[in-house]
Amino acid sequence: MKNRYLVPFILLTTLFFLWGFAHNLNPILIPHLKKACQLSDFQSSLIDGSFFIAYFIMAIPAGMVMKRYGYKTGIIAGLLLFAIGAFLFIPAANTRVFGLFLTALFVIASGLTFLETAANPYMTVLGEPEGAAQRLNLAQSFNGLAATIAPLLGGLFILSGNTLTSAETASMSTEQMSAFLDGEAATVKLPYLIIGIIVLLVAVLLYKSKLPEITEAGHDIELPSGSQSIMRHKHLIWGIAAQFFYVGAQVCVSSFFIRYLGKTAGIDEKTAANYLSAALLCFMVGRFIGTFLMKYISPNVLLAIYALVNIVLLTVVVIYGGMISVYALIGVEFFMSIMFPTIFSLSIQSLGKETKIGSSLVIMSIVGGAIFPLIMGRMSDLMSIQVAYSVPLLCFFVVFYFGWKGSKVKV
């Protein structure tokens, strides 16, 4: 990499870390706000809903802003939205109004939509073309690092570890309960204040840095003549479905992880956060191992095998509970590791000039992360968190079919 690209590369790599960190604080926020705002499982699942729906709503506006004003302006706008959302956690905690927390998360995710839309194309031009894939993999490794660190720091600074028994709750006056809940809500203020300041600092550094221009000719999305023709690619249609169900499953597995450990294995929330961090470390390691295995096993076959393993592991989670299911959930994280990029690459293969629009459709399917946690939260309220894990279990059947048969290109 040429020296003139080194500083921009470092700054842009921080974006991968920042959005990975923000994503993986949600599994900490779900049990925390459930307690602080006295929510049901369904209500707490709105945390993921408000977060992932932003990607679906803001994807087109983000693209329009960048088309008109450039990618650098889009990145700065994304960072500003990210910081504003982080700062909104302070009045949300002061008032303990759940709707304000959801607004803050929506604003953060809106900012991340801008960042994720811009970061990949920028990485491809920060050096020689033949090194583009290597630069992207290096940057994405920091996303995985953030996924491991976020639950650890979130568990340390956000989760208090204080859980009231029914007897303790009954013995407290209204004022005492209000003071307890205010104290719980307040733990998010300092972490998100620090996040907001760091994000603003990165925005200032990027604003003052010279970044290479990306010509629109290489990055615009153009509908092919007869735009409905994109639907003739059956493997793309199945890929969109697989990504929709996969992202839904991934968010369900991680977001209710701490809740599941507490209910079925009696593990306190701080310890459960450490287990989650270990699980996400397995996710990161799984990416490297899966990439190595693809030298010997075709990606679609490996995807089908991994999906089938997760079906088995989640069956254990639904039926048994206890520590065996804790380890099964950690295993699920490992076997999810290759799924997003593998589904993505298989979905857009052989699309030719329709690759860009096909890619956009697959990316928009991540809205599954907003829908399935709501279903899972409702099932948990009506039945149990253990039974609710049947939601991601069923999702992996779609992923399995895509790897086994749906990903085959028909000419």
At residue 229, does pLDDT exceed 70?
no
**Res 315: pLDDT:** 97
Contact 24/147 with Cβ under 8 angstroms?
Answer: yes
258-284 average pLDDT score: 93
Q: How far is CA 297 from CA 44, 238, 294, in A?
A: 40, 21, 5
Question: Of residues 215 and 301, which shows the higher confidence score?
Answer: 301
Same domain, 26 and 86: yes
At residue 394, does pLDDT exceed 90?
yes
**Res 362: pLDDT:** 80
At residue 118, does pLDDT exceed 80?
no
The pTM of this model reads: 0.81
**Res 121: pLDDT:** 62
Same domain, 254 and 207: no
Based on its alpha-carbon atoms, the radius of gyration of the chain, rounded to whole angstroms, reads: 21
The sign of the CA dihedral 383, 389, 395, 397 is: negative
Contact 37/96 with Cβ under 8 angstroms?
Answer: yes
- Encoded tokens for 14: 């921080």
Same domain, 108 and 150: yes
Question: Of residues 9 and 123, which shows the higher confidence score?
Answer: 9
Give the relative orientation of helices 98-125 and 132-157 as an angle to the nearest 10 degrees: 160
Same domain, 321 and 405: yes
CA distance 133 to 139: 10
Same domain, 124 and 238: no
Same domain, 275 and 181: no
Same domain, 198 and 275: no
Whose tokens are 């993986």? That residue is 24
Q: What is the pLDDT of residues 66-99, one digit of tens each?
A: 778 877 888 999 999 999 999 999 999 999 999 9
**Res 9: pLDDT:** 80
Domain annotation covers residue 217: no
133 Cβ contact list (under 8 Å, min separation 6):
none
Domain annotation covers residue 225: no
Domain annotation covers residue 222: no
Please report which confidence band the pLDDT of residue 226 belongs to, taking 50, 70 and 90 as the band edges. Answer: very low
Beta carbons within 10 angstroms of residue 183's beta carbon = 12
For the ranges 6-10, 102-106, 220-224, the lowest mean pLDDT is seen at 220-224
Same domain, 236 and 134: no
Beta carbons within 10 angstroms of residue 350's beta carbon = 13
Domain boundary among 182, 211, 240: 211
Domain annotation covers residue 223: no
Per the structure, the complete domain to which residue 269 belongs is given by 230-410
Number of domains in the chain: 2
**Res 223: pLDDT:** 45
330-334 average pLDDT score: 96
**Res 224: pLDDT:** 47
Domain boundary among 166, 183, 211: 211
What secondary structure does DSSP assign to 219-265, as a single string?
A: T---PPSSGGGGGG-HHHHHHHHHHHHHHHHHHHHHHTHHHHHHHHH
**Res 346: pLDDT:** 85
Contact 24/338 with Cβ under 8 angstroms?
Answer: no
Question: Of residues 351 and 150, which shows the higher confidence score?
Answer: 150
126-152 average pLDDT score: 72
Same domain, 42 and 83: yes
Same domain, 110 and 195: yes
Q: What is the pLDDT of residues 183-209, one digit of tens each?
A: 999 999 999 999 999 999 999 988 888
Same domain, 315 and 382: yes
**Res 119: pLDDT:** 75
Domain boundary among 148, 183, 211: 211
Domain annotation covers residue 191: yes
Question: Of residues 108 and 169, which shows the higher confidence score?
Answer: 108
We report the CATH number of the domain holding residue 169 as 1.20.1250.20
237-266 average pLDDT score: 94
Contact 268/161 with Cβ under 8 angstroms?
Answer: yes
H-run or E-run covering 367: none
Which spans in 337-367 are helix H? 339-347, 355-364
Mean pLDDT of the chain: 86
**Res 388: pLDDT:** 97
Same domain, 40 and 92: yes
Secondary structure in 3-state letters for 162-216: CCCCHHHHHHCCHHHHHHHHHHHHHCCHHHHHHHHHHHHHHHHHHHHCCCCCCCH
